[in-house]
């Protein structure tokens, strides 16, 4: 437990004096965070107590706005710590993370279960129609009230105590889950030592594997790591079936390490505690609890969407599997299509059917040019520009810093970009923030704070002097995460709690998934998909082949995803009795068997490393959100198609105002209708995925 607050905290954690308002990372030591949190937490609680104990009658200003402004020191220290613990961690940070997770959960419970504070909020909530508030303020008041209720503010003392204990334990378990997965990913390397081990691999992958081997102390060799930027192309191109199987089995076994590194008992306890938490709060299941404040509203609606896609995806996947089996037989082999075969033979099938392969595409997909494409697209849509600063220190030498400017040249945001894989970084790709946009900063509460946003990815580095070439999937990931970043950077709201990506979970993926559409706009590819040696743009014939193959292998992709989402919903639909004594892997197998899961395909995220669900609470009972937002984004891009121009200025302005800039200031359905004029149906998604 953190002890009494010291006074000698490192000011670099709280007073950000680096250019563009960034922290002075060089002045921050890993050991500084414990003292900073020990000071920040009681300072935050003192502010909360002052609001709760205010002798004046509650007003929106002295209660809600005061609550919005409270905890600045805590927010700053947290902003640095949690970004580092994900993107550049070490033993010291991980030890503190394990200590902090339950402590911060207790801190949150103390605030959300403060009876005097909730009484003030409750009074304002029931009087909200007479307070003369604008729409944004009413929205903040309503969301604040609901957040307190969902955190147990209306429970009796005994139930509040138990809920706080559950939350504390869940926080510790989520941290352990994430650290176990990272340990497995960091420790693994399949070292390839002979030319035969490299059979079938293209040069770009060999270069990346050489760099990965060198980073892990295997100079002169090549390493298959569990970074998607290496493992997926290895499974695609390697002609060594034995090595594909070995690497694949390690990839899907993350989180199943021995002893304390085994995530299976962690998952079992988390599912049980979540079910108990939901029951305490009066919900039928944790899925009902999580979905109550989303667009979907209920598990039944989510399952309806998932099952519609599942049925069509399975049918398509079986057709695809038959095609791959025929290809294997034509090569003279008699083995069935195993999961470690699928990517390899699918790539061959795509090459045969469309005269297209990843090795042909990749020379045109330079990381630097794709970054430029993402920036240029934002400029053409929203009028913003990006100015790189190379003399600003960051938390790692790989991190780039950009000043984001509006059409008048005024700074509206700072963007950090951290593109390359390393052992100190968890896998995957994400957007996060060091600080959020709002307009109640300063002592008088009348100043604006610009957002500081970061994109983190795990692309493989190239050999020294060689360009970093990425796959089409990597390029989509870059555009996807940059769409999230724009959601944070273009935010234009008054209050921090509704800033940027602070929207319902099944709406937050709309800005990111929608932005992916611009990657394949003809003009964008012709300008930025240029050959790394000749500078020539992607040939029209290759572009046409790429378009023709857009819906190839979509059965596989949708089975991978939808099976994961259905297992997520099944775990979190359990009541406390059903969740007791759960064997997570057996339960996963039972659900998949009930779905008739194709043997040739595995879940995109097996339960022991399903970080979306168990490395915290973010996407638990919410993995479906990518598909829900997929319904929205497939329809949303249609607004530009209808306008006849992917950069139509009037449509882009509506998009910016109602989707990217509005944060959580509007109900998601209202925001979407304000942009598009109507709500979409699932048909647009099925058409996009080739499943109609």
Instruction: Read off the pLDDT of residues 24-37 as tens digits, 9 standing for 90 and up.
Output: 999 999 999 999 99
Could you tell me which of 264, 266, 246 has the C-alpha nearest to residue 188?
Answer: 246
Q: DSSP characters for 251-316? A: HHTTTB-SGGGB-HHHHHHHHHHHHHHHHHTT-SSHHHHHHTTSSS-SHHHHHHHHHHHHHHHHHH
Ranges of CATH 1.20.1050.40 domains, the chain: 11-154
Global pTM value: 0.94
Is pLDDT above 70 for 6? no
Question: Is the model's pLDDT at 645 over the cut of 90?
Answer: yes
Burial 4-18 (b: 16+ CB within 10 A, else e): ebeeebbebbbebeb
In 3D, which of 83, 107, 108, 105 has the Cα closest to residue 33? 83
Q: Which of 70-79, 323-332, 357-366 has the lowest mean pLDDT?
A: 357-366
Q: What mean pLDDT do residues 638-655 have?
A: 97
pLDDT at 463: 84
- Mean pLDDT for all residues in the chain: 95
Express each pLDDT in 228-285 by its tens digit: 889 999 999 999 999 999 999 999 999 998 888 999 999 999 999 999 999 999 999 9
Per-residue pLDDT at 618? 87
* Cβ atoms of residues 435 and 76 within 8 Å: yes
pLDDT score for 260? 87
What is the CATH code of the structural domain delimited by 11-154?
Answer: 1.20.1050.40
Tens of pLDDT, residues 276-295? 999 999 999 999 999 999 99
Q: What is the pLDDT of residue 359?
A: 84
Give the model confidence (pLDDT) of 496-541 as tens digits.
999 999 999 999 999 999 999 999 999 999 999 999 999 999 999 9
Provide the percentage of residues in the chain whose pLDDT is more than 70: 99
CATH 1.10.1370.40 assigned to 363-548 = yes
Say yes or no to pLDDT of 349 above 50: yes
Confidence band for 4, pLDDT divided at 50, 70 and 90: very low
**What is the location of CATH 1.10.1370.40 in the chain?**
363-548
pLDDT over threshold 80, residue 17: yes
| Residue 464 pLDDT > 90 | no
Catalytic residue numbers, as ranges = 481
Residue 438: strand, helix, or coil? strand
pLDDT bracket for residue 692 (50, 70, 90): confident
Structure tokens at 8: 């000698």
Q: What is the pLDDT, as a whole number, of residue 7?
A: 61
Q: What are the tens digits of pLDDT across the range 186-195?
A: 999 999 999 9
What number is the average pLDDT over the span 192-199? 97
For residue 158, give every residue at least 6 positions away whose Cβ sits within 8 Å of its Cβ, in sequence order, or none. none
Residue 1 has pLDDT above 70, yes or no: no
Nearest Cα residue to 506 out of 639, 688, 669, 635? 669
């Amino acid at each position: 437990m953190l002890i009494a607050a010291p006074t000698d905290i490192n000011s670099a954690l709280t007073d950000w004096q680096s250019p563009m308002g960034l922290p002075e990372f060089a002045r921050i030591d890993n050991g500084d965070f414990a003292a900073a949190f020990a000071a920040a937490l009681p300072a935050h609680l003192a502010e909360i107590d002052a609001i709760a104990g205010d002798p004046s009658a509650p007003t929106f200003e002295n209660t809600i706005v005061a609550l919005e402004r409270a905890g600045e020191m805590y927010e700053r220290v947290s902003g640095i710590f949690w970004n580092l613990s994900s993107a550049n961690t070490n033993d010291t940070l991980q030890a503190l993370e394990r200590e902090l997770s339950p402590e911060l959960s207790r801190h949150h419970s103390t605030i959300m279960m403060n009876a005097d504070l909730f009484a003030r909020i409750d009074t304002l909530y029931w009087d909200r129609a007479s307070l003369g508030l604008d729409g944004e303020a009413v929205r903040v008041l309503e969301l604040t009230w609901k957040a307190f209720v969902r955190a147990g503010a209306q429970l009796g003392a005994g139930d509040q105590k138990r809920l706080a204990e559950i939350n504390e334990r869940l926080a510790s378990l989520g941290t352990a889950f994430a650290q176990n997965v990272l340990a497995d990913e960091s420790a693994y390397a399949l070292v390839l030592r002979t030319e035969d081990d490299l059979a079938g691999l293209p040069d770009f992958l060999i270069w990346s594997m050489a760099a990965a081997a060198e980073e892990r102390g295997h100079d002169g060799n090549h390493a298959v790591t569990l970074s998607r930027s290496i493992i997926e192309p290895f499974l695609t191109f390697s002609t060594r079936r034995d090595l594909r199987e070995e690497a694949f089995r390690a990839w899907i076994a993350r989180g199943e390490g021995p002893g304390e590194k085994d995530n299976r008992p962690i998952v079992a306890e988390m599912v049980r505690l979540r079910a108990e938490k939901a029951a305490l709060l009066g919900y039928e299941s944790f899925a009902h609890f999580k979905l109550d404040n989303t667009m979907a509203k209920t598990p039944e609606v989510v399952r309806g969407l998932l099952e519609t896609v599942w049925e069509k995806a399975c049918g398509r996947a079986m057709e695809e599997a038959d095609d791959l089996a025929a290809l294997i037989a034509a090569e003279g082999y008699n083995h069935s299509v195993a999961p470690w075969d699928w990517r390899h033979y699918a790539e061959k099938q795509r090459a045969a059917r469309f005269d297209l392969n990843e090795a042909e595409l990749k020379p045109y997909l330079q990381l630097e040019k794709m970054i430029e494409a993402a920036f240029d697209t934002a400029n053409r849509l929203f009028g913003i520009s990006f100015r790189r600063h190379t003399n600003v220190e960051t938390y790692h030498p790989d991190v780039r810093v950009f000043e984001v400017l509006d059409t008048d040249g005024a700074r509206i945001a700072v963007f950090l970009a951290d593109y390359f894989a390393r052992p100190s970084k968890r896998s995957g790709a994400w957007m996060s923030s060091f600080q959020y946009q709002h307009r109640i900063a300063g002592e008088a509460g009348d100043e604006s704070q610009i957002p500081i946003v970061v994109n983190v990815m795990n692309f493989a580095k190239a050999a020294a002097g060689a360009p970093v070439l990425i796959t089409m999937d990597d390029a989509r990931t870059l555009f996807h995460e940059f769409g999230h970043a724009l959601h944070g950077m273009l935010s234009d709201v008054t209050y921090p709690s509704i800033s940027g990506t602070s929207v319902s979970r099944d709406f937050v993926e709309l800005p990111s998934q929608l932005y992916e559409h611009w990657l394949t706009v003809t003009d964008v590819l012709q300008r930025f998909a240029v050959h790394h040696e000749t500078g020539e743009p992607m040939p029209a014939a290759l572009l046409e082949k790429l378009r023709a193959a857009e819906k190839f292998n979509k059965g596989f992709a949708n089975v991978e995803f939808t099976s994961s989402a259905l297992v997520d919903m099944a775990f979190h639909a359990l009541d406390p009795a059903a969740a007791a004594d759960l064997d997570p892997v057996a339960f996963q197998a039972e659900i998949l068997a009930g779905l008739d899961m194709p043997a040739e395909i595995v879940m995109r995220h097996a339960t022991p490393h399903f970080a979306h669900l168990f490395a915290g609470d973010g996407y638990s009972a919410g993995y479906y959100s990518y598909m829900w937002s997929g319904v929205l984004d497939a329809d949303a891009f249609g607004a530009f198609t209808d306008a006849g121009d992917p950069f139509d200025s009037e449509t882009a302005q509506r998009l910016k105002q109602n989707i990217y800039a509005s944060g959580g200031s509007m109900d998601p359905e209202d925001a979407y209708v304000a942009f598009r004029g109507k709500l979409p149906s699932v048909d647009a998604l099925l058409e996009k995925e080739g499943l109609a």
